[in-house]
Amino acid sequence: MSGLDFDLAHLFAGLMVLVCFLMLYQDRLYSLLNTFAVHAMVLSLAVAWQAYIQGAPQLYVTAAIALIFKAMVIPIALHRLIRRMDLHREIETVGGIGRTMLLGMALVALSISVMLPVTAAAGTLAREDLAFALSIVLLGLLMMITRRNAVSQVVGFMTLENGLILAATGAKGMPLVVEISVAFSVLIAFIVIGIFLFRIRERFDTVDVGALDSFRGDRR
Amino acid sequence: MRDLVYPLCALLAGLLGLVGLLALLRGDAATLVLPLGLPWVGSHFRLDPLSAVFLAIVGFGGFAASLFAVGYGRHEPAPGRVAPFFPAFLAGMALVVLADDAFTFLFAWEFMSLTSWALVMAHHREPGTTFAGFVYFVMAAFGTLALLLAFGLMAGPQGHYAFEAMRSGPHRLAGVVMILALLGAGSKAGLVPLHVWLPLAHPAAPSHVSALMSGVMTKVAIYGFIRIAFDLVGPPHWWWSVVVLVVASITAVLGLLYAVLQEDLKRLLAYSTVENVGIVFLGLSLALAFKANGMAAAAALAMTAALLHAVNHAVFKSLLFFGAGSVLAATGQRSLDRLGGLIRLMPATSALFLVGAASISALPPLNGFVSEWLTFQAVLVSPQLPQWALKFLTPAAGAMLALAAALAAACFVRAYGIAFLGRPRSPEATAAHEADGFQIGAMALLAAACVGIGVLPGPVIDALAPAVRHAVGGAGLAAQGGRAWMTLAPISDNRSSYSGALVLLFVAASAVISAALVRAVASRAVRRAPAWDCGFPNRRPATQYSASGFAQPLRRVFGSVVFRAREAVEMPPPGDPGPARFAVSLVDPVWDGLYAPVARAVDRAAERLNRLQFLTIRQYLTLVFAALVLLLSLLTVLR
Amino acid sequence: MSLGAIALAGVLLTPLASAALLALLAGYRATARLNVVASGLSFLAALSLIAVRPLPNDFLFVDDLNVVFIVLNTFVGFTTSIFSATYIRHELETGRLTPVYLRFYHAMFQVMLFGMSLALASQNVGLMWVAVELATLTTVVMVGIYRTHEALEAAWKYFILGSVGIALALFGTILVYLAAQAVVGEGLPAMSWIVLVDNAPRFDPALLNLAFVFLMLGYGTKVGLAPLHAWLPDAHAEGPTPISAVLSGLLLNVALYAILRFKVVMAANPGAIAPGPLLITLGLVSLVFAALMLYRRRDIKRLFAYSSIEHMGVIAFAFGMGGPLANFAGLLHMTMHSLTKSAIFFAVGHVAQAKGTQKLDDMGGLTVTHPALGWGLVLGVIAIAGVPPMGVFMSEFLVVSSTFSRQPLLAIPLVLGLLLAFGALILRLQHVVFGDATGESHKVDASYAPMLIHLALVLAAGIALPPAIVAWFQNVSRALG
Amino acid sequence: MGLAVALAPLLTGLVRAVKARLMRRRGPSVLQPYRDLLRLIRKEAVIAEDASWLFRAAPYMIFAATWVAVALVPTFATGLPFSWSADLIAIVALLGGARFFQALAGMDVGTSFGGIGSSREVMIASMAEPALLMVAFTLSLLAHSTQLSIISESLHYSNVGLRISVAMVLIALILVALAENARIPVDNPATHLELTMVHEAMVLEYSGRHLAMMEFGAALKLLLYMSIVGAVFMPLGMAQAHDSLVRQAVGLGAYLVKMAAGGVLLGAFEVSIAKMRVFRAPEFLGSAFMLGFLATLLLFVSKGGLR
């Protein structure tokens, strides 16, 4: 493939990692959601670019889903959710933002060092993309475990999933990518609905404050 | 239907015993392979002299127990929980003895544990039974796993599970195999410190089952050890015998020290089983030592002693448990301090129990003495052993054996004297009645065996010879059967000899003569009068010596050292007519030193880990994340 | 369309069709019957698969390995549906389930069976992934069906952890595709098992390693290997008992199947890291951890859920050891565990209904009040604890003995874990079935048939395995390498 | 056999006489024990109401067992007929049997004193019997045989020489003998102070002919131990079965002298030392046990001891 193709794809992937760090940096829910919207947009751009250079039209669908669903519907829904259930606006973190950022750096380094030995045979594009995708996945997971708010955890999960989509689209000619992205959108919808349904105020951990105390049989 | 179980068991078990006996007399091996068990191995069965001996023990022991149970079963409160498992238990023991491949062996072994566990749990509502069953089953599983590891080593990576292949196969880590076998078989036989389940489980079971467990199942365990250590692992190394010797002598003495302090008749019998198992293993260890040094004749002597003692113990321990069972059925009491005076209420039972007590105390001319005598003879050959460790340890073991023998007498004087002599200590004991025909019949049978083997040991020893040759090789002992006056001379005439028949003859003769003389000269007059008791006779049973009172001197001498026994007497203040209270505190060194810490450790670990049940989802995700990161960094490092 | 294709279609389509039908139909009696019939039909179809195999296409195929799983799954699904019929009736009577949810329940039951069969029969890695997730999501819904706080929380936990697992598994799948695509070119073939195994030697080892890490963790979450197990105990404890039986008996196997497939691919590549050590480590950790967790359990269903974790550990360990003997043992242990554990859950379901609670403290003396049920439970627990004459003993015998002769040091923790678990199980068992009857005691009018059938099979297997099955398993274990 | 029966009371009488003399008493005649036995035998037997058949059978069993044991000990000549029918270990066991029944008899009536006696007796025995067996070990290791007559022959004729082990064994054997025969310092045959009795407490309920048999058994036991000491450690003058009558006579004379000497020594010893507390007895016997055990071990280390 030509240098430009490669550079653009690379750029988008890099951008996504960067945005991930921005998300890690946020301490307000709203701003976090906005940043995530950006993340999703970059993703859709990256996917679209892949669709173009691979000449795989079905990927445009994926790009569209990313744009419409992740970059618009979900963030808006979450905005309203926050207002409706007047959740805390600021993000409770575990172990401070700064430390989380450092950990994030380490994760990126880790994912790159893991990807290094992959021979160029797998396609340089795939290889670089993968390194970024992996770091995005790890950063998403990191966000899930260092943020206490339910919403920010959902955001973390979606970030993780963006990384997956990036990887999937980066994999040349991979079947079922569209189906998978759809499946994931459904999954996320489930989660958001779940939050509504179970009135999760602050955290995933508790369906209801009452459930905290009425722990099942094993609590003594 | 239920009434038919025990008669049928008696019939089948008797047949088994006969089969074993015939196979032993024919002295050759028969094998059989069935398409069961482990695929591509099949389940192999083999009846060679060694297994024949123990098949005979299982068979005849089972026969006696079933016969006893025909009568005893009527007193059983929960027959539905005993009758189904009893035959299965017998079958399991028989299969262990017959098995000829690792899978079949362990299958039967664990099946035997399972069924006996169910039998122990028969009286599941009585306090302590649940604990007993738990400890028993866990120890059984421990033993099975140990044996499983042993077989795994012998079978090798390709899994040659048939015993035939193991015999011929390369003997890797034979020492480890022997240790594992000692752990596995020892935990079932009741070697210290693996004996803890035995005094809990044996008394908890119905008495005819206790008899089977103590009299027969421990022998099956001994068979397991002999099969592995003498037959399968190949040539022994002399240090093995050191290990076994030490364990065995500790077991023999400690078992009796426990027994002599017990107040529960059945528990006392169970502890004495521990002691006798120790004596058998003492013989086995000597056999190992001699075999390792190529002293075939001495090895044969030791092995004969061990096997004979196994047979004898099966006989008299079953007899004693039957007696205890009859007492339990007649009075509902197991505690010595609630019994007494039974010799007048249950004359037959008490007479037969006396025979058992005398033979387990190794009194000539009964059978217990013969096997212990042979063991002593084997000990006396030890100076010819080349290794110094053995030279020194064996006499020590002999001393331990002597101590055990003396303590056994003390223990059973106490048991018999308190339970059967004197005056009844409780209303139940006063209301006791004689056992029924089947029970007495079974006991009489065993008592006859005690006397028979004691007086004519020669033929029995010759019958054991093929098994001995199979185990230790060589020519075995010289034939003992055909000598004048049924005399035993295991090594040579002027080395040592013993004739039970003559001793019996002499004692009987001199007793008769003296009695006759006395009758001739003495006055026949007999007057019944209140007991003299130094002028202060007191009819109340409470004035008799109690079980703990009788044990007091022994407790002071041995208990204070081994069990840190402490006695506390609280006196009422002067002028207060209230009774003085006496309390004894014992510390079980094995339980407190070994099992309690393990239990505590498990408990603590469980408590620590249990927190993981109550983490939040975020924390669980952290676990996943940590695992992921760890593996990824491993990937980078590994390269 | 060949016979085999028809059979496979039967396995897959019967549940789908009946699911649709069940969603429409109302009324307990009819739906329950239909549920049983449908499961029975798919079981028969699966049986016929043993005889006739369809030709593999891009999406589906049947070989020696997965047919074992398919038959086992459909069978347990069938017996479970029988059990669930009587169980659900009781739930309706006590009002824990409303008819509406009942409709839902039956439909979901079939969808779940479909998902699992699809996952097992799928030739395509991606398809399998989708199917596994389908099965997972249906079970999530089923777990929450009682809509109590506890049930919802359990479902939620299961859902979140499951989703993360899904994501990881997918990333692994993508990596596998990438590795394959570089060699065999783009498109579907690069995702089909046969092609993967054939060309594995030429894949890029680094990619494979990475892929395996993700797959191991992703599907490992479904298998319930510690430390990824967190969802499993609660999901088992709070869902309806038939679902607990299906989870332990089937879903864990499906996830394990996926791991096995990828293990074969890994093993075929000389450059890649050996998958064995990872499986062994996770297996031992799960075994010992679960064994210790058993001691503090107060809820009978959670108790047996942890025992499932323990046995999954043993199975993973066995496959990790590899070699014909250990693989055979692993397969056997898996089969026996499925049968036994579902039988135990059948029994537990009846016990919970008889005693009106799942708290271990409130149930005692079961053999006094409900002899048949009590002794059935005894038999089941004895079997799962690895005591003869039941079949689990054979597999544990093979695992332990073969391990000790090859890696003595690995056998120590293995034996330790088994002993610990044994102690805990017996302790609880004795408390439940023996002693004076405690707690309330209702009459149970349920058929013990499913439980007894399972136990009978386990017993038969423990005494003698049919040569056909043995040969079949041996082929598979050779294929697993 | 007859000889022993005839001599036993005489020995007991001798010991008593010696003690009396040393205490400056005139004391009964040496033949007094015979008279006592006759008197007892003629009296009617009073039996406690609670006594069982065991109570009445025990005296004869005890007497018979002891008698057989004595008969198996070479007195004036070795290799007597049937001396091979039981070896040293069997003799120890026979005495054990006698004690077994004596202890049971003590408990039969169910009086507190019987209980005291029996429980103390078994405690003492549980220490004494192992000690005695250790002695037997050492001797049979020396003589490569457990046959008493062979032991004494080999100690007599073969050059075992003077060994420290033999001395230790001798002391151990004497200590055991004192305990087993209820002599001072372990027990006092003459006491009737209840709390100190052991042997006497067990026979407390006996009277008439039964008591006679008991006493006779005790006397036999004393003779037995002395004969063992004599036969094993002072075998000089001992004849062999096939020797001429003269030698047999010499042997007999030697035997009588030994017994007399033994009696005198025992009497002197008993007078010169006080009885110890019951719970000192275990230490007393424990030392005997240790001596026997040490003797056995020393045999292994001492040069050229054993093949």
Share of chain B above pLDDT 70, in %: 100
What digits encode the pLDDT tens for the residues D239-284? 877 778 888 888 889 999 999 999 999 999 988 888 888 888 888 8
Shortest alpha-carbon distance between residue D10 and chain B (Å): 19
Q: Round to the nearest angstrom and report the end-to-end CA distance of chain A.
A: 64
Q: Which chains have 3+ CB pairs within 8 A of C?
A: A, B
The nearest CA of chain B is from the CA of A115 a distance in Å of: 9
Contacts of C237 in chain A (CB under 8 A): 216-217
Nearest CB neighbour to A173, from listed C171, C187, C296: C187
Nearest CA distance, A37 vs chain C (angstrom): 20
Mutate to test the interface with B, among A111, A144, A148, A157 (most CBs of B within 10 A): A144
How confident is the model at residue D248, as a pLDDT? 86
Tell me, yes or no, if B40 comes closer than 8 A to chain C by beta carbon: yes
Alpha helices in B73-128 (DSSP H): 85-98, 102-120
Q: In sequence order, which residues have a C-beta less than 8 Å from that of residue B421 and are 6 or more positions away?
A: B340, B341, B343, D52, D54, D104, D107, D108, D110
Q: For position A219, what pLDDT does the model report?
A: 41
Q: Please tell me whether the interface predicted TM-score (ipTM) of this complex is above 0.95.
A: no
Cα D77 → chain centroid: 19
Q: Choosing among B33, B598, B609, which should be mutated to test the C contact, i.e. which has the most C CBs within 10 A? A: B609
pLDDT score, position B1: 60
For the stretch B316-341, pLDDT in tens is 999 999 999 999 999 988 999 999 88
Residue D165: which pLDDT band, with cuts at 50, 70 and 90? Answer: confident
DSSP tally for chain D: helices H, then strands E = 11, 3
Render the burial of A126-144: b for 16+ CB within 10 Å, e for the rest. bbbbbbbbbbbbbbbbbbb
Among D63, D118, D279, select the one facing B556 at the smallest CB separation. D279
C175 in any annotated domain: no
Question: In this complex, do B39 and C467 lie within 8 Å of one another by their Cβ atoms?
Answer: yes
- The minimum CA-CA distance between B424 and chain D, rounded to whole Å, is 9
Rounded Cα–Cα distance for residues C98 and C146 (Å) = 9
Q: Which residue of A has its CA nearest to B634?
A: A114
Q: Stretch D1-25: mean pLDDT, rounded?
A: 88
pLDDT in tens, C305-360: 999 999 999 999 999 998 888 999 999 999 999 999 999 999 999 998 888 888 88
Provide the number of structural domains found in chain A. 1
Task: Of D18, D91, D74, give the one whose Cα is nearest residue D255.
Answer: D74
Q: What is the pLDDT of residue D192?
A: 67
| B18-41: b (≥16 Cβ within 10 Å) or e | ebbbebbeeeebeeeeeebbbbeb
Q: In chain B, which stretches have pLDDT less than 50? A: none
Chains that touch B (3 or more CB pairs under 8 A): A, C, D
Q: Are B633 and A110 within 8 A, CB to CB? A: yes
Asked if residue A94 belongs to a domain, the reply is yes
Per the CB < 8 Å rule, is D119 touching B549?
A: yes
Cβ–Cβ of C130/A191 closer than 8 Å? no
- Does some domain include residue A186? yes
Buried-state track C32-68, b at ≥16 Cβ within 10 A, e below 16: bebbbebbbbbbbbbbbbbeebbeeeebbbbbbbbbb
**CA-based nearest residue to B42, from B148, B165, B221, B170:** B165
Residue C285, in any domain of the structure = yes
**CA–CA separation, C362 vs C30, rounded Å?**
35
Q: Is C160 on the interface with A (CB under 8 A)?
A: yes
- Residue D302 confidence (pLDDT) above 80: no
pLDDT of D163 higher than 80: no
Average pLDDT across chain A, whole number: 80
In terms of CA atoms, which chain B residue is nearest residue C278? B631
Residue C319 structural domain: 274-481
Residues of B within 8 A of D194 (CB-CB) are: 534
pLDDT value at position A217? 38
Q: Which residues of A touch B624 (CB under 8 A)?
A: 141
Identify the three-state secondary structure at position C388.
coil
Chain B residues close to A142, C-beta within 8 Å: 625
Which pLDDT does position A2 carry in this prediction? 60
Report angle CA B627, B632, B637 to the nearest 5 degrees.
120
Q: Which residue of A has its CA nearest to C173?
A: A168
Q: What pLDDT is stored for residue C362 in this prediction?
A: 86
pTM (two decimals): 0.93
| pLDDT above 80: residue C476 | yes
pLDDT tens digits, A108-147: 999 988 887 776 655 555 677 888 999 999 999 999 888 8
- Whether residues D204 and B361 touch (CB distance < 8 A) is answered with no
Contacts of C299 in chain A (CB under 8 A): 216-218
Q: What is the pLDDT of residue B372?
A: 93
Interchain contact, A187 vs C359, CB within 8 Å? no
pLDDT exceeds cutoff 80 at A1: no
Distance from CA of D86 to the nearest CA of B (A): 5
* Residues 84-123 of chain B whose Cβ lies under 8 A from any Cβ of chain C: 102-103, 106-108, 110-111, 113-114, 121
What are the angstrom distances between the C-alpha of A180 and each of B147, B331, C191, C207, C214?
Answer: 53, 79, 14, 21, 17
Separation in Å, CA of B608 to nearest CA in chain C: 9
What's residue C212's pLDDT? Answer: 93
Nearest C-alpha in C relative to A154: C160
Using a CB–CB cutoff of 8 Å, tell me whether B78 touches chain C.
no
**Residue C376 included in any domain:** yes
Residues in A touching B635 (Cβ below 8 Å): 114
Contact call for B617 and A205, based on CB within 8 A: yes
How do residues B146-157 score in pLDDT, each as one tens digit?
Answer: 999 999 999 988
**Chain C CB within 8 Å of residue B598 CB:** no
Q: Cα dihedral angle (D126, D130, D132, D136), rounded to 10 degrees?
A: 160
Chains touching D (3+ CB pairs < 8 Å): B
Map B539-580 to HEC letters.
Answer: CCHHHCCCHHHHHHHHHHHHHHHHCCCEEEEECCCCCCCCCC
User: Among A84-88, B72-76, C197-201, D105-109, which stretch is predicted with the lowest mean pLDDT?
Assistant: A84-88
Which pLDDT does position A5 carry in this prediction? 76
Of B159, B620, B635, the CB nearest to C325: B159
C-alpha closest to that of B111 among B140, B134, B139, B82: B140
Residue B273 has a pLDDT of 96
Number of domains in chain C: 1
Whether residue A210 has pLDDT greater than 50: no
Length of chain C: 481
Distance from CA of C89 to the nearest CA of B (A): 32
Task: Give the per-residue pLDDT at D194.
Answer: 64
Q: Nearest Cβ partner of C402 from B125, B138, B159?
A: B159
Distance from CA of D201 to the nearest CA of B (A): 9
Give tens-digit pLDDT for D193-213: 666 778 888 888 898 899 999
Q: How far is B407 from chain D (nearest CA, A)?
A: 5
Q: Are chains C and A in contact at 3+ CB pairs closer than 8 Å?
A: yes
Cβ-Cβ contacts under 8 Å, B381 against chain D:
none
User: Which of C219, C404, C418 is most worth mutating to test chain B (most B CB atoms within 10 A of its CB)?
Assistant: C404
Question: Which residues from chain A sit within 8 angstroms of residue B621, using beta carbons?
Answer: 141, 144-145
What are the pLDDT digits (tens) for B212-247? Answer: 999 999 999 999 999 999 999 989 999 999 999 999
pLDDT tens readout for residues C95-127: 888 888 888 899 999 999 999 999 999 999 989
- Chain B CB contacts of A111 under 8 Å are 632
> Does some domain include residue A214?
no
Q: Which of A135, A207, A209, A215 to mutate to test the interface with C (most CBs of C within 10 A)?
A: A207
* pLDDT higher than 60, residue D121: yes
On the question of pLDDT at A209 being above 50, the answer is: no
Model confidence at C392, pLDDT cuts 50, 70, 90, reads: very high
Q: Are B262 and B418 in contact (CB under 8 A)?
A: no
Measure the CA–CA gap between B607 and B601, rounded to whole angstroms.
10
- Domain with A148 in it: 3-204
For residue A215, the model assigns a pLDDT of 41
The pLDDT value recorded for residue A192 is 74
- Chains A and B contact (Cβ–Cβ under 8 Å for 3 or more pairs): yes
Task: Name the DSSP letter for residue B534.
Answer: G
Which distant-in-sequence residues (6+ apart) come within 8 Å of D24 by Cβ?
Answer: none
